[in-house]
Amino acid sequence: MLRTRGLEQTRRFSWAETARLTWQAYQDFLARSS
């Protein structure tokens, strides 16, 4: 159970990290476009 919880936290962190990086890349793209 402990292992499953750790895996779930890792997956959630990865999703949050991916969303953050995507948002940064999008803002960078907008900054270069303007």
**pLDDT for 1:** 60
For residue 5, what pLDDT is reported?
81
Q: Look at residue 17 in the predicted model and tell me its pLDDT.
A: 92
pLDDT score recorded for residue 10:
78
Angstrom CA distances, 28 to 1, 3, 21, 32, 34, stand at: 41, 37, 10, 6, 10
pLDDT of residue 32: 97
**pTM of the predicted structure, to 2 decimals:** 0.57
- Tens of pLDDT, residue by residue over 1-34, are 677 888 887 777 788 899 999 999 999 999 999 8
Task: Tell me, rounded to whole angstroms, the distance of Cα 9 from its chain centroid.
Answer: 13
